[in-house]
Structure 1
Amino acid sequence: MAKAVGIDLGTTNSVIAVMEGGKPEVIVNAEGARTTPSVVAYKGDERLVGQIAKRQAALNPAATLFEVKRFIGRRWEEVKEEAARSPFKVKEGPGGSVRIEVNGKDVAPEQVSAEVLRKMVADASAKIGQNIKDVVITVPAYFDNSQREATRQAGEIAGLNVLRVINEPTAAALAYGIDKKGNETVLVFDLGGGTFDVTILELGDGVFEVKSTSGDTHLGGADFDHRIVDWLAGEFKQEHNFDLKKDPQALQRLIESAEKAKIELSAASETTISLPFITFDPETRTPLHLERKLTRAKFEELVSDLLRRVREPVTQALRDAKLSASDIDEVILVGGSTRVPAVKRIVREIMGKEPNESVNPDEAVALGAAVQAGIISGDAALGDIVLVDVTPLTLGVEVKGGMVAPLIPRNTTVPAKKTEVFTTAENNQPGVEINVLQGERPMAADNKSLGKFKLEGIPPMRAGQPQIEVTFDIDANGILHVTAREKSSGKESSIRIENTTTLDKNEVERMVREAEANAEADRSRREHVEKKNTLDSLRLQAQQQVEEASSAPQDLKDKVSKLADEAKQAVESDADNARLQSLTTDLEAALRELMQAAPQGGSQPQAEAKKDDDVVDADFKPAD
C-alpha cells in the first residue's frame, strides 16, 4: 500500500515528510535538500520549480513566481498592496479573484502552487520507491474558507488525493508532542514567510485539543524583507534619483538580497548588502552600484511596526482560551521568521519564559502533517491519537439592515454543524438570497463574503411566516458547506456560490488536464535532454579512445570518428529522440569493437579487454 505523506506548502519554502518506523521523517528532494523553494518559473514551454527556478529569478523576473501563497483563495481587493510590490504582474481576475500574467497568459495561484506540489511529490515518490497520491496539506490556522478550498484545489490540480487540510500550528504541535506522555498546555507561535498564527493546545494521553487560535494572514517574513527593499530603494533614489522598484530585474535582486541580509542578521550584528551593476545611469549609461551596511538595530527600526503586530494575536488567543501567560507550559516557535532575534525577544516579553526551540522551525509543520497522514491511513505505530481542531473565524449570514447573524463562533471545535431558522422580511416574498460571511465585525460589509446562494420557490405567505432553516456544516478540513430549506414546502436550495475566489469545478478539471499534459511534456523534454547528454558524453569518450587506440585498424578508427562527428551534429541540431537513440546504439557498438581490437593500446591480454568491455556496457547504457 502506497504511503500517505504530509506537505507543508509554505510561502517561501515547502517541505514533505512521511512516517517511517513510527516516526515522521523529512524526504529530501531531487537536489538533496530538505526544503524546496516555493518558486515556479516559466521559460517558453518549460516550467522550472524549486531551487532551479529561484536561481534564474533575477534574469527572468516577470515570469518567476514566488510568495504566491499570499494570493491563493484571496480577492483582488485584499491583496492589491502586496501585488504592487511583485516584480511579476498580478492583476484582478474573474469575480474579483487574483490572476498572475505570465508570457501573455493568465495563471491562477492554485496552478502555481500545484506545480510546487507536483514537483515535491514526484521527488518523494522517486526517493521512497512508491507512487504517492494521498497527501495531507497544511494551511495557516487563520486561513478562511476560500483559502482552504483553494489549497485543496491546488492539490487536486497536481493530481493528488487530499486526505485532509490541517492547520499549520496544530501540525507543529503534533510533531512536538508525539513522544510526550504528560499533560501540557502549549502555545504555538508560527511566523512563516507570509502568515502569522498563534494556537493554544492542550496535550495529554494522545489527545491534541486546540483551545483557541488567532493570527494575521498579511504578516510574515516577506514583509520584513520588503522593509529592507524599501529602505535600499529609498537610499538609492536619494543618491541617484532613480527608483529601482520600477525595474523588475533590479527589484528581484533587491528582494533576494534583503532576504539574505535578514537571515545574516539573525546571527550577526551587521551585514553588508552589495549589488554591483544594479542599473545604469539613464543619462550617461554608466553602471551604478549599490552597497549599504545594515545593522541589526537599523533592521529592527525598519520593522518595528511589524514587530508590534505580533503581540495582539498572542493576547487574543490567550483571552479566547481563558488562560494567562503563566498557564502556558511551553511556547513552541515555528516558521523561519522566528529566528529573528527581535521576534524571540517579544515572545519572551509576552510569555515571561524562554521559548522551546526543540523542534526545527522549518520542518515541524511537515512532520506533523506526516503524523496526521499516518493517523488517517491507520498507521498502527501511532496508536490512538486524537486531534481536535477549531475554526479560526466566526461564520454567519447577512440579515436585514446589513447585520451579521453568527451561526458558528470562532474557536468552535470542528467538525461542527449548526442550524438556525430565519424568515422573510416582506409579504409574499418568493425567495431569499443568503450571503455567507466570515469574520468578527457586526456589519456584513466589514466581513468577508464567502459567497451567495438563492433559495427560491417559497410559497406566498405573510412576512415572518416562512420557516427557513439554514445549516452550516464545517468538515474536518475547516471547509464550510451551507444549505437552506423552507420547512412548510420542503423546498431546498441547491447551493450556487457566486463571486467566489475559488475555482469552479470545470476550471479545476481543465487545470488538471493542463497539469497532466505539462507533466507529460516535461517528462518528454527531460528524456530528450538525457538522450542528448548521453550521446554527447559517449562522443567525447569515443574521440578520446580513437586518439589512444594507436594499434587499431584505421578503417575502424575512421568509422568511430565519423559516428562521433554525426553525434556532435545531432546534439547541436537538436535531433529527435529516434535519431539520438540510433546514433547512441551505433556509437556504442563501434566503440566496443574498437576497444576489442586495441585494448588499452594493445598492451593488455584479451581477458583484460573483456573486463573493459563490461565496464563500457555499464558506463554507456542509456538512462531509463
Structure 2
Amino acid sequence: MTAAAEGPVIGIDLGTTNSAVATVVDGAPRLIPNRAGQLLTPSVVAVARNGKRLVGHIAKRQAITNAEHTVFAAKRLIGRRWGSREVEDARRALPYQLVAGPDGNDVRVRMGERVWAVPELAALVLAELKADAETFFGGPVAGAVVTVPAYFNDGQRQATKDAGRIAGLEVLRIINEPTSAALAYGFGRPVEKKVVVFDLGGGTFDVSVLDIARSVYDVVAVGGDTYLGGEDFDRRVMEWLIFGFAQDHLGVDLRSDTMALQRLKDAAERAKCELSSAPAASVHLPFLLGGGEGKPALHLERQLKRDQLEELTRDLVARCVAVTKRTLEDAGVRPAQVDEVILVGGMTRMPLVQAAVREFFGREPSRGVHPDEVVALGAAIQAHALAHPQPSGPEVLLLDVTPQNLGLMVVGGYFQTIIAKNTTVPTSATHIFTTSQDDQHSVRIAVLQGAAEKAADNELLGEFVLTGIRPARRGEVEIEVTFEISADGIVGVSAKDLATGQRQSITITATSGLSEEELRRILDESGDALLERKQASAELAQRRAAAERLVHEIEALVPAVTAALARSRFGMDAVTRAEAVVQRTRAALEAGDAGQLSALEDQLERTLQLFRGLAGEAGGPRA
C-alpha cells in the first residue's frame, strides 16, 4: 500500500536552532503552524522540575531557570563519537551534561533523572512536529521526508532515521538540506541553471553545486562543515560579553554561573540577529549576578556595533568561503559559471556573510526563497512526489552524491579510496588487490569513510575477513574488491579470490550509537509517550477550538456593547474585563496551554452571556 493511500505525507527540516514541518496542499508546498500558531519550532527540549517533558517554545522560555536540564543544539551531537573534537568542545561550552554511552563510543545527555541518547532528544522534536501536522490534517501522518546536512556521515544519517522511528514516523527518505532547498527554489517554474546552495544554519554549514533541468536535480558536488553555524557566532558574542563584564567588575568570571550563561546566550543571539538590520545593538542584563551576603548585585550594560561583530566572526565566514571554494573546485566549476546562488539558513541574513558570497561569486545572491522555510518546503515536495508517483515517470528526479570518500585500509595503514566523494548514487566500483605476504591464508577488509591519508584517521564503517586463500608467494593472489552504494545510501562490500572463487561480503549498516535491543526498548517507551502526547494534542485542539470560537463571538459583540453603553460605567467596566480575559486567552493560545484554556473557558462563557444580554437590552445585534 502506498503512502498516498494511507494518508497525508510531510517534509521536516530538523534544524539545530529551529525546526519546521510542511506539506503540499492543492499542488503547492506550505508550512504547517505549530500549536502556538508559529511556523518555526525551537529545537529545544527540557525536563521541568516536576518531571514533565517540554518541547519547543515552552522549553526555550524556561531555559534560563532550568539550564542544566534544557537541551538545545542536539543536532550538533547526533551521531558523534565520545571523545571526538566536537564533543570535547561541546562539553566545555554547554550548560547541560554530556556522558559516554554504555559502550563508550557514542555521546549521551543527562537531562532530568535519566540519561538520553541523542536520537531520543531529536525524536522529541520530531514527535512535536508530527503532532502539529496531525492536528492540521485532523488525522494520522502516513510518512515523512526528513532533511539532514549534505555533509552528514552514515552514522549521523542513521541516527536521524532512528529518531524518526522513535517519534513514530515512517521515514520515506532522508535527503540533503541543500538539495531540498533547490527543490523548493525550482518548484513550479521551468528552471535550467547551474545553482549553488549556500546553507549556513544554526549549527552546520553546507554548500552544494547542482545542475537543474526542469524536474531533474543533479547534484555535482557537496562540501561542508557539520560543526560550523550560528551557535559559533553566538559563542563569539558571549565571550566578548564575558570579557567586558570581567573588565567592568574587577575580573568576575561568569562562566561558573549556568543561569547567567543562559541569559548571556539569549542576549548574544538577540544582538547578533538585531545587527543584521541595525548598525548597533544594546545588551542590557540587570541583576546578571545576584547580590547576597552584603554584596551588591551586578548588571551588564554593553553596546555591540556591527563592525565589532564582523571582526569577532570574520574567521568563521572565511571558513565558509574556503569550503565553498573547495567544493566548486571539486565540481570543476568557476564562480563565474554559476547562474544562481541560493542563500539558506538564518545566518545568511548577516551582512558580512552576504558580502562574502557576493565578493566570491561576483554577483548578488538570489532573494527568491525564505532562508528559514525553504528546506522544509523542499522536503514536502519530495515527500509528495514519493507518495504520489506519476505513471509517466518521477515528478521530481533527485540525483544525489556520496559526501565522503569510501575505501579500505591497505598495507602500511594507508587509506585507498574506492568510491570518491561526489560520485552520483547508486553506484559501484571494483578494484584488484594482491596479497602482501607469502602463503597468506586470509585477508582482512576494513571498510572506511573519510579523506585522511592514514586509515586510522578515517571512520571505520565495518570489517570482514576473506579466508581460504590458496598458498602462494606475495603478490601472486589477486583479490577483487567491489563497493556498491544503493540509492538509499546503503553500502555493500564484497571480496573474491579470483583464482578459487572464494567470496565474502558485508552490508554496512551505519550505527547511531543505539543497539537494536536499546532501540526496541526506546520504541516501546516512546509508544506510550506518543499515546499520551496524542491524547494531550487532541485535548488542546478541542480547547483551542472552543476558546477561539468564544473569543470571536465576544469580539463581534464589543462594538455594539461599547456604542450602546458608552455612558454606562457598568457597561464599560464589563468591556474592560472582557478585554482582559480575551488577552489572557490569546496568551494561553500562543503558549498552547490546554490547562489554562480550560480554566478560562468558563470566564469566556460568562462574558459572552453577559455581552449577549447587554447587546440585547441595547437593541444591538445578537451574535
TM-score between both structures, scaled by the size of structure 1? 0.81
Q: Do 1:421 and 1:468's aligned partners in 2 also have CA atoms closer than 8 Å?
A: yes
- Alignment CA distance shift 1:324-1:58 (3 Å): same
Mapping of residues 521-536 of structure 1, within 5 Å: 521-522=532-533
Q: Do 1:402 and 1:443's aligned partners in 2 also have CA atoms closer than 8 Å?
A: yes
State the match for 1:568 in structure 2. none
CA distance in 2, matches of 1:36, 1:272: 26
Mapping of residues 20-31 of structure 1, within 5 Å: 20-31=25-36
User: Are 2:491 and 1:480 aligned?
Assistant: yes
Q: Do 1:486 and 1:492's aligned partners in 2 also have CA atoms closer than 8 Å?
A: no
> Which amino acid is 2:85 matched to?
E
1:404 to 408, 415, 418: 415
- Alignment CA distance shift 1:148-1:466 (3 Å): farther
For structure 2, list consecutive stretches of 5 or more residues without a partner in the other structure: 546-597, 618-622
State the match for 1:64 in structure 2. 70
User: Are 2:130 and 1:125 aligned?
Assistant: no
- Alignment CA distance shift 1:505-1:302 (3 Å): same
User: Are 2:101 and 1:89 aligned?
Assistant: no
1:517 to 514, 521, 528: 528
2:454 to 443, 460, 470: 443
For structure 1, list consecutive stretches of 5 or more residues without a partner in the other structure: 535-583, 609-614, 616-624
> Which amino acid is 1:20 matched to?
V
> Which amino acid is 2:454 matched to?
M
State the match for 1:261 in structure 2. 271
1:78 to 70, 78, 85: 85
Q: Give CA deviations for 1:571-590 in whole Å, capped at 9, x if unaligned.
A: xxxxxxxxxxxxx9xxx9xx
Q: Give CA deviations for 1:207-249 in whole Å, capped at 9, x if unaligned.
A: 1111111111111011000101111112212333222122111
Q: Give CA deviations for 1:322-342 in whole Å, capped at 9, x if unaligned.
A: 111111111100001100110
User: Are 2:144 and 1:172 aligned?
Assistant: no
1:146 to 137, 141, 155: 155
- Alignment CA distance shift 1:530-1:145 (3 Å): closer
User: Are 2:23 and 1:18 aligned?
Assistant: yes
State the shift of 1:304 in Å: 1.4
State the match for 2:167 in structure 1. 158
State the match for 1:226 in structure 2. 235
Q: Give CA deviations for 1:276-310 in whole Å, capped at 9, x if unaligned.
A: 11113586443211111111111111111111111
Q: Do 2:288 and 2:299's aligned partners in 1 also have CA atoms closer than 8 Å?
A: yes
CA distance in 2, matches of 1:200, 1:362: 20
State the shift of 1:408 in Å: 0.8
> Which amino acid is 1:130 matched to?
G
CA distance in 1, matches of 2:60, 2:445: 44
> Which amino acid is 1:186 matched to?
V
State the match for 2:315 in structure 1. 305
Q: Do 2:202 and 2:229's aligned partners in 1 also have CA atoms closer than 8 Å?
A: yes
Q: Do 1:187 and 1:331's aligned partners in 2 also have CA atoms closer than 8 Å?
A: yes
State the shift of 1:176 in Å: 0.3
Q: Do 2:126 and 2:167's aligned partners in 1 also have CA atoms closer than 8 Å?
A: yes
Q: Do 1:468 and 1:484's aligned partners in 2 also have CA atoms closer than 8 Å?
A: yes
CA distance in 2, matches of 1:286, 1:305: 38
- Alignment CA distance shift 1:481-1:282 (3 Å): farther
Tell me, what secondary structure is at the counterpart of 2:185? helix
State the shift of 1:452 in Å: 3.0
State the match for 1:577 in structure 2. none
Q: Do 1:41 and 1:53's aligned partners in 2 also have CA atoms closer than 8 Å?
A: yes
Q: Do 2:167 and 2:530's aligned partners in 1 also have CA atoms closer than 8 Å?
A: no
State the match for 1:366 in structure 2. 376
> Which amino acid is 1:437 matched to?
L
State the match for 2:284 in structure 1. 274
> Which amino acid is 2:341 matched to?
V
- Alignment CA distance shift 1:493-1:431 (3 Å): farther
State the match for 1:454 in structure 2. 464
> Which amino acid is 1:347 matched to?
V
CA distance in 1, matches of 2:38, 2:540: 23
State the match for 1:55 in structure 2. 61
Tell me, what secondary structure is at the counterpart of 1:413? coil
CA distance in 2, matches of 1:171, 1:145: 19
Q: Give CA deviations for 1:57-106 in whole Å, capped at 9, x if unaligned.
A: 11111111010000001112132112320110113323421111123422
State the shift of 1:427 in Å: 4.4
**Relative to structure 2, which stretch is displaced further, 96-105 or 318-327?**
96-105
> Which amino acid is 1:150 matched to?
A
CA distance in 1, matches of 2:18, 2:139: 24
Tell me, what secondary structure is at the counterpart of 1:111? helix
- Alignment CA distance shift 1:395-1:329 (3 Å): same
Tell me, what secondary structure is at the counterpart of 2:482? strand
CA distance in 1, matches of 2:544, 2:134: 24
CA distance in 1, matches of 2:212, 2:541: 51
- Alignment CA distance shift 1:300-1:461 (3 Å): same
State the match for 1:206 in structure 2. 215
RMSD (CA atoms):
3.0
Q: Give CA deviations for 1:176-219 in whole Å, capped at 9, x if unaligned.
A: 01122142111111000011111111111321111111111111
State the shift of 1:528 in Å: 9.4
**Relative to structure 2, which stretch is displaced further, 94-103 or 359-368?**
94-103
User: Are 2:251 and 1:251 aligned?
Assistant: no
Tell me, what secondary structure is at the counterpart of 1:303? helix
Mapping of residues 239-388 of structure 1, within 5 Å: 239-240=248-249, 241-280=251-290, 284-378=294-388, 380=390, 384-388=395-399
Give the count of matched residue pairs. Answer: 542
Q: Do 1:164 and 1:476's aligned partners in 2 also have CA atoms closer than 8 Å?
A: no
State the shift of 1:35 in Å: 0.8
> Which amino acid is 1:61 matched to?
A
CA distance in 2, matches of 1:318, 1:528: 52
User: Are 2:198 and 1:192 aligned?
Assistant: no
CA distance in 2, matches of 1:216, 1:244: 30
CA distance in 2, matches of 1:383, 1:219: 35
Q: Give CA deviations for 1:315-374 in whole Å, capped at 9, x if unaligned.
A: 112111211111111110000110011000000000000000110000111111111111
- Alignment CA distance shift 1:527-1:315 (3 Å): closer
Q: Do 1:83 and 1:91's aligned partners in 2 also have CA atoms closer than 8 Å?
A: no
CA distance in 2, matches of 1:245, 1:483: 52
CA distance in 2, matches of 1:489, 1:66: 53
State the shift of 1:490 in Å: 3.7
Q: Give CA deviations for 1:235-271 in whole Å, capped at 9, x if unaligned.
A: 2123332221221111111111111111111111101
Q: Give CA deviations for 1:398-424 in whole Å, capped at 9, x if unaligned.
A: 111111110110110012222334444
Tell me, what secondary structure is at the counterpart of 1:96? coil
State the match for 2:593 in structure 1. none
* Identity across matched positions, percent: 43
State the match for 1:492 in structure 2. 504
State the shift of 1:436 in Å: 2.3
CA distance in 1, matches of 2:386, 2:410: 39
- Alignment CA distance shift 1:497-1:184 (3 Å): closer
State the shift of 1:6 in Å: 0.8
- Alignment CA distance shift 1:62-1:123 (3 Å): same
- Alignment CA distance shift 1:264-1:531 (3 Å): closer
CA distance in 2, matches of 1:435, 1:208: 33
> Which amino acid is 1:266 matched to?
S
CA distance in 2, matches of 1:4, 1:259: 33
> Which amino acid is 1:390 matched to?
V
State the shift of 1:21 in Å: 1.7
Q: Do 1:455 and 1:485's aligned partners in 2 also have CA atoms closer than 8 Å?
A: no
1:134 to 140, 143, 148: 143
TM-score between both structures, scaled by the size of structure 2? 0.81
